[in-house]
């Protein structure tokens, strides 16, 4: 398990999620959805299919501090036609309230930047809610550009069905 360099005190590390970890990950996902004022449809079955399917849809890692789960990461690789190279997309980064503001989030972003370098990614990207000033401050402090000229477009399941039937 990779050990994280952080100033928060006890030893922290990440390791890939196992089937036995899925209930912990789902609980963290629900906690994050509550914080972000969103709903979640994720189930244990859906997470299992996403992380252990052939091929997996995403990579998931649990963050451990002193042997107890303290957060998680979900990420996957993309491709950018403008760069001609892969990118790393961070879907979720979650740190439990007990460890927020202590440098663990910064350490996890540094860890993921290392993953991006290892796989020669041209970009490392993610979304952040416009009202989450604490996260925006962290990301700007890390050197991230907040793209003001791009908008997220989304078709939900109903929209996908309507488009394929139209």
In whole angstroms, what separates CA 3 from the centre of its chain? Answer: 18
Using CA atoms, how far residue 37 sits from 34, 86, 96, 102, 132, in Å, is: 5, 31, 16, 24, 11
139 a catalytic residue:
yes
Q: How far is CA 73 from CA 15, 58, 65, 159, 166, in A?
A: 10, 10, 14, 28, 37
Neighbours of 51 (CB within 10 A): 20
- In the set 76, 99, 119, 139, the catalytic residue is 139
Residues annotated as part of the active site:
139
């Amino acid at each position: 398990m990779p050990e994280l360099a952080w100033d928060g005190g006890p030893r922290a590390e990440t390791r890939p999620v196992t089937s036995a970890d899925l209930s912990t990950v789902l609980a963290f996902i629900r906690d994050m959805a509550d914080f972000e004022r969103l709903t979640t449809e994720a189930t244990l079955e859906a997470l299992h299919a996403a992380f252990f399917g052939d091929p997996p849809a995403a990579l998931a890692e649990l963050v451990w501090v002193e042997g107890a789960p303290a957060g998680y990461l979900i990420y996957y690789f993309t491709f950018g036609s403008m760069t001609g190279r892969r990118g790393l997309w961070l879907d979720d980064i979650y740190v439990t309230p007990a460890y927020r503001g202590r440098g663990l989030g910064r350490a996890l972003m540094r860890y993921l930047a290392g993953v991006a370098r290892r796989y020669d990614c041209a970009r490392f990207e993610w979304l952040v809610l416009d009202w989450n000033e604490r996260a925006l401050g962290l990301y700007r402090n890390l050197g991230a550009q907040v793209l003001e000229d791009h908008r997220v477009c989304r078709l939900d399941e109903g929209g996908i069905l309507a488009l394929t039937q139209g």
